[in-house]
Amino acid sequence: KAGVTQTPRYLIKTRGQQVTLSCSPISGHRSVSWYQQTPGQGLQFLFEYFSETQRNKGNFPGRFSGRQFSNSRSEMNVSTLELGDSALYLCASSLPTAEKLFFGSGTQLSVL
């Protein structure tokens, strides 16, 4: 069974641009969560989607948004990039009846 796939693996953008990251969950997993990881703040929860609906949201500005498609694939978008948005963005999927998250390898975003 394929794991959680995140694309692209690396991304370099400049301030003010926007970026879209993609996540394909494990087959059968309908919940997808996004996390931001930085050396200073650690792993921070961004939001979670289940059956195309945002179910939970972390404490991030509106520049961070996401969506989920009918096949459970998810995208997150960051608009008007700032230097502080440089981070490893992780996606995790899970079954609704399981207490376990499966993470992808992440997208390393660098904002110059």
Partner 1 sequence: LAKTTQPISMDSYEGQEVNITCSHNNIATNDYITWYQQFPSQGPRFIIQGYKTKVTNEVASLFIPADRKSSTLSLPRVSLSDTAVYYCLVGSITGGGNKLTFGTGTQLKVEL
Interface with partner 1 (CB under 8 A):
4, 31, 33, 35, 42-45, 48, 50, 55-56, 88, 90-92, 94, 96-106, 108
Q: Which of 23/78 has CB closer to partner 1?
A: 23
User: Least separation, in Å, of the C-beta of 6 and partner 1?
Assistant: 8
**Is 47 buried (19+), middle (13-18) or exposed (0-12) by CB count in 10 A?**
buried
Q: Please answer whether residues 62 and 72 qualify as being in contact, where contact means their C-beta atoms are separated by less than 8 angstroms.
A: no
Residue 70 tokens, joined: 């009918």
Q: Which of 4/111 has CB closer to partner 1?
A: 4
